[in-house]
A and B are shown apart, each in its own frame.
Chain A
Amino acid sequence: MPGAELPLSPYRVLDLTLEDGHLCGRTLADLGAEVIKIEPPAGDPSRFRGPFYENIPDPERSFTFWFQNLNKRGITLDINTVKGQQLLRRLAKSSDVIIESYPTGFMDSLGLGEEGLCLENSGLIVASISGFGRSGPHSGYHSPDIVVQAMGGLMYVTGDDDRPPLRIMPPQGYAHGAMEAAVGVMYALIHKGRTGQGQQVEASAQQAVLWSLMNATGMWDLNQVNVRREGALRGGVFGQPRKRLNWPCKDGFVTVTVVGSAAASTGNSTQNLVSWMIEEGFAQDFLAYYDFEAVDWADLAAEEYDLVIKPFHDFFNSKTKAELFEGALKRRIILYPVSTMTDHGRNMQLKDRKFFVKVAHPELGTEIIYPAPAVVFGGERLPVRRRPPLLGEHNREVYVQDLGISGDDLAEMAEESVI
């Protein structure tokens, strides 16, 4: 990205979301928008969610808050007070986007719904993120992450079939919903760029989660088959015997689909794997002549399948994840390690692409490692411009310098717990 200007540099965003919406503002901030995170005076709830730096629970040490609020400035404001509402209206006048994720109807009840806010700024984009949308039979439902993952269909297909459906942590439902809102805000900004007009953006986390089900929704629609969770195996959707996807190895697991049919579109992956096994003496004779391309694995009898996969098990168990992946890279085998979070620190690709960056946290006297923004834009990764805000860190900057409120008034508002 040439120069200091980023694509969204001219835009100001007020981020009123709770932890179910933070990623929306984070994405806009990464693209260059000036995002102001507005927290209640007691702090955003996600400051109290772990994991915490050095395992010390503290609102200024939450990785959850940090990650989702990188590149934002932060102020405190109690929008339940009349003064707080007035201040928000003043901020909204000079802003392009407001993002919120309060329970449906809450902003309206304070006179801060899009109608109230847009009255004085017709260019304002108001984005609302909720579990189910702002109208309809479930719009008033409580929607913590596990409820969204359940109702969106993701839990049913995650985990093992002899266990309850499983939720994935960190919260996926929140992330899906917040990112769809970010996409919606971008479209609204394009429209605003052309016409000057704002509009309302409404994201449903349930619908966003539904998008992660791949072809499972279509399986029901076209074939009346319900996709279920299948543990470390896959492929039993139509009642066939399941085939292994995640294989144990010396120090963990690797993922590889041991099939060769054209339909699997794995090129010569399996043949290349078998050649490697032959070189190392792991393939019995029959495997050398086994025609992976000709076999329809969906219909393979269980006995034959067990016979064929035994040498693969033995081979994987003789090597580590790293050894297997290194071989896969050299031999063009579609095999990947089942990574833990710790593995990312050793990932040479991420290292080469400078994906992890150290960000100074002077008040802790240290640097913290962050995953950088995902996008490389014009040959340069979108930058980390500032560490996440301390609670109320930019109150003076925003209220006094930007809004022109006097220092005395600021002190008074602090006294009254408005900020």
Chain B
Amino acid sequence: MAFVLEGLKVADFTWVGVGPITMKSLADHGATVVHVESRNRVEVLRNAPPFKDREPGIDRGSFFANFNSSKYGVGLDLRNPKAIEVAKRLIGWADVVAESFTPGTMSRLGLDYESVKAWKQEIIYFSSCQLGQTGPWASQPGYGTQLAALAGFYHLGSWPDKEPAGPYGAYTDFISPRFGVTAVLAALEHRRRTGDGVHIDLSQLEAGIQFLGPYVMEALNNHHEPELIGNRDELASPHGAFPCEGDLDANGFPDRWIVIAVFNDTQWGRLCDVMGNPLWARSSKFADLHSRKVNEDELERFLAEWTNQHEGEGLMQRLQSAGVPSGLVQNCEDLYKDQQLLHWGGFVELEHAVIGKHNYDGLAFHLSKTPGELRMPAPALGQHNGHVYKDILGMDPEEFDAFESEGVFT
């Protein structure tokens, strides 16, 4: 079956999260993506865990691999003046150029949009960074770990009486790529109709805020900071995570939880049935949504006593079968055993040149006629130098050898 982006060529100068994930999507859907990196300034994620056998090594980690499936990888040291000429040849070949450096970096190299456009008018040029290409803070360096703080996710991912916590990791790095891919594909559509290229400027902060819209609007229009409400919900009760019986996890923590969310009195009735209609649940204190909201502390204590006597997965199945929204709070070990994810294609095993067989996160949407696919494992650093420079760019062997010996491909 043909891939939707068959024939599209991408010069991928991005690194870390947003840029690589955005370009990975194009690669998984058939584009030829050449990912450019250098041993002289190693891509940050190549030095971050997890590593095979817990032994660090730039080609031993799955952090980088997960974000760079289906791509060719080349070494190119952009600090070497001769590398700039090679970069221009790569850009000359490409339909799409992508970069995610701190703004100004590509201009200093003479590889920014305006420079490229001067000799390649139809180029689609994607720039992603923390705060956008323009503005007083544009050149502030950083990662999604800090950007998640600036966007508001650490504040909102907290209990009202605790220090800001938030989700694990560089959360906004996983929001921004969706806006990146849709914009690049829109640019392709625009070019198909008009023949014109375009520059896309994607700010990770502005993309992150799209996931917080209603709360930002409350703050700016009502001049009122949204309240932190833990796991509760204005339209449901009970609505939260409750402890379950279960084994200790791999780290030795008794940490099994089930979420239960009751949005109306019908669902409450069903929950009571599954609980065997205990006396406490028949109290008028919990008879309707309003009463349950008023007496929510007490309700949660009773419910937790009940859930604590049950194993989580079985309880979820019983509740869902009875029509009560519920779900196991899954850790990553659980995710690999989840029958639904298994059915969906939640993880994809590929054989990496150094790591060997390991799992990549699967695609989150399926297309019936032109499905994407993780077509190749992520490249080891410089793995495809020969193929890309000689076969794709048509470099003759002597020139290739000369560049290589001068460290241009390092």
Known contacts A229-B165, A344-B209; 17 additional CB pairs below 8 A are A8-B189, A51-B214, A133-B344, A135-B343, A150-B329, A157-B331, A191-B367, A191-B370, A199-B368, A203-B366, A217-B336, A223-B50, A227-B168, A255-B154, A341-B220, A341-B226, A371-B209
Q: Is the CB of A217 within 8 A of B215?
A: no
With a CB–CB cut-off of 8 A, which chain A residues contact B13? none
Please give the number of chain A residues whose Cβ is less than 8 angstroms from any Cβ of chain B in the complex.
160
For the complex, what is the distance from the CA of A295 to the CA of B192, rounded to whole Å? 54
Question: At the interface, yes or no: A201 with Cβ under 8 Å from chain B?
Answer: yes
Which residue of the partner chain A has the closest CB to B152? A339
With a CB–CB cut-off of 8 A, which chain B residues contact A150? 241, 257-259, 327-330
Which residue of the partner chain A has the closest CB to B163? A232
CB-CB under 8 A for A147 and B325, given A31-B186, A51-B215, A135-B343: yes
Q: Is the CB of A220 within 8 A of B333?
A: yes
Q: Is the CB of A207 within 8 A of B263?
A: no
Question: At the interface, yes or no: B54 with Cβ under 8 Å from chain A?
Answer: yes
Per-position 1/0 for B41-74, Cβ under 8 A of A: 0001001111110100000011101100000000
**Could you tell me which residues of chain A, from 172 to 219, have a CB within 8 Å of some CB in chain B?**
172, 175-177, 179-184, 186-191, 193, 197, 199-204, 206-208, 210-219
Question: At the interface, yes or no: B135 with Cβ under 8 Å from chain A?
Answer: yes
For the complex, what is the distance from the CA of A335 to the CA of B146, rounded to whole Å? 7
With a CB–CB cut-off of 8 A, which chain B residues contact A229? 165, 168
Q: Is the CB of A267 within 8 A of B51?
A: no
Q: Is the CB of B189 within 8 A of A190?
A: yes
Q: Is the CB of A223 within 8 A of B188?
A: no
CB-CB under 8 A for A183 and B169, given A146-B233, A201-B367, A349-B205: no
**Could you tell me which residues of chain A, from 368 to 399, have a CB within 8 Å of some CB in chain B?**
368-379
With a CB–CB cut-off of 8 A, which chain A residues contact B276? none
**Could you tell me which residues of chain A, from 153 to 185, have a CB within 8 Å of some CB in chain B?**
153-161, 163-170, 172, 175-177, 179-184
Q: Is the CB of B225 within 8 A of A341?
A: yes
CB-CB under 8 A for A231 and B149, given A370-B217, A374-B206: no
With a CB–CB cut-off of 8 A, which chain A residues contact B63? 214-215, 218
With a CB–CB cut-off of 8 A, which chain A residues contact B48? 215, 263
For the complex, what is the distance from the CA of A251 to the CA of B46, rounded to whole Å? 37
Which residue of the partner chain A has the closest CB to B219? A341
Which residue of the partner chain A has the closest CB to B335? A153
With a CB–CB cut-off of 8 A, which chain A residues contact B347? 217, 221
Question: At the interface, yes or no: B38 with Cβ under 8 Å from chain A?
Answer: no
Q: Is the CB of A337 within 8 A of B183?
A: no
Question: At the interface, yes or no: A4 with Cβ under 8 Å from chain B?
Answer: no
For the complex, what is the distance from the CA of A148 to the CA of B325, rounded to whole Å? 10
Question: At the interface, yes or no: A71 with Cβ under 8 Å from chain B?
Answer: no
CB-CB under 8 A for A200 and B163, given A133-B343, A165-B329: no
Shortest CB distance B336–A (Å): 6
Q: Is the CB of B182 within 8 A of A183?
A: yes
For the complex, what is the distance from the CA of A239 to the CA of B249, rounded to whole Å? 14
Which residue of the partner chain A has the closest CB to B343? A136
For the complex, what is the distance from the CA of A378 to the CA of B370, rounded to whole Å? 29
Q: Is the CB of B210 within 8 A of A374?
A: yes
With a CB–CB cut-off of 8 A, which chain B residues contact A133? 340, 343-344, 366
Question: At the interface, yes or no: A262 with Cβ under 8 Å from chain B?
Answer: yes
Question: At the interface, yes or no: B222 with Cβ under 8 Å from chain A?
Answer: yes
Question: At the interface, yes or no: B279 with Cβ under 8 Å from chain A?
Answer: no
Question: At the interface, yes or no: A143 with Cβ under 8 Å from chain B?
Answer: yes
Shortest CB distance B215–A (Å): 5
For the complex, what is the distance from the CA of A238 to the CA of B365, rounded to whole Å? 32
Q: Is the CB of B241 within 8 A of A151?
A: no
**Could you tell me which residues of chain B, from 144 to 188, have a CB within 8 Å of some CB in chain A?**
145-147, 149-159, 162-171, 173-176, 178-179, 181-183, 185-188
CB-CB under 8 A for A371 and B214, given A334-B141, A344-B219: no
Q: Is the CB of A207 within 8 A of B341?
A: yes
CB-CB under 8 A for A255 and B364, given A67-B213, A142-B325, A160-B165: no
**Could you tell me which residues of chain B, from 327 to 381, have a CB within 8 Å of some CB in chain A?**
327-336, 338-341, 343-344, 346-347, 355, 358-359, 361-370, 372
CB-CB under 8 A for A8 and B225, given A144-B325, A150-B328, A336-B142: no
For the complex, what is the distance from the CA of A372 to the CA of B147, rounded to whole Å? 18
Cβ-defined partner of A217 (8 Å) among B163, B203, B335? B335
With a CB–CB cut-off of 8 A, which chain B residues contact A201? 365-368
Shortest CB distance A334–B (Å): 5
Q: Is the CB of A214 within 8 A of B170?
A: yes
Shortest CB distance B232–A (Å): 9
With a CB–CB cut-off of 8 A, which chain B residues contact A269? 141
Question: At the interface, yes or no: A132 with Cβ under 8 Å from chain B?
Answer: yes
Interface segment, one of B76-84, B86-94, B193-201, B291-299: B193-201
Q: Is the CB of A183 within 8 A of B178?
A: yes
Q: Is the CB of B186 within 8 A of A377?
A: yes
- The list of the 8 closest CB pairs from A to B, nearest first, reads A67-B213, A214-B169, A136-B343, A184-B365, A341-B219, A142-B325, A255-B149, A157-B168
Interface segment, one of A281-289, A351-359, A400-408: A351-359
Q: Is the CB of B202 within 8 A of A374?
A: yes
Shortest CB distance B136–A (Å): 6
Q: Is the CB of B50 within 8 A of A219?
A: yes
With a CB–CB cut-off of 8 A, which chain B residues contact A208? 364-365
Shortest CB distance B26–A (Å): 9
Q: Is the CB of A170 within 8 A of B213?
A: yes
For the complex, what is the distance from the CA of A188 to the CA of B347, rounded to whole Å? 23
With a CB–CB cut-off of 8 A, which chain A residues contact B171? 212, 214
CB-CB under 8 A for A339 and B151, given A344-B209, A355-B206: yes
With a CB–CB cut-off of 8 A, which chain B residues contact A248? 163
For the complex, what is the distance from the CA of A355 to the CA of B175, rounded to whole Å? 17
CB-CB under 8 A for A153 and B330, given A218-B66, A338-B164: yes
Question: At the interface, yes or no: A253 with Cβ under 8 Å from chain B?
Answer: yes
Cβ-defined partner of A214 (8 Å) among B174, B253, B334? B174
Question: At the interface, yes or no: B25 with Cβ under 8 Å from chain A?
Answer: yes
Question: At the interface, yes or no: B386 with Cβ under 8 Å from chain A?
Answer: no
Q: Is the CB of B152 within 8 A of A371?
A: no
Q: Is the CB of B137 within 8 A of A349?
A: yes
Question: At the interface, yes or no: B290 with Cβ under 8 Å from chain A?
Answer: no
Q: Is the CB of A7 within 8 A of B261?
A: no
Cβ-defined partner of B330 (8 Å) among A144, A152, A180, A350? A152
**Could you tell me which residues of chain A, from 108 to 134, have a CB within 8 Å of some CB in chain B?**
132-133
A sample of 15 inter-chain contacts (CB < 8 A) reads: A8-B189, A137-B340, A141-B327, A144-B261, A166-B241, A180-B178, A208-B364, A213-B361, A216-B169, A216-B332, A265-B47, A340-B152, A344-B220, A352-B136, A355-B206
With a CB–CB cut-off of 8 A, which chain B residues contact A188? 4, 367, 370
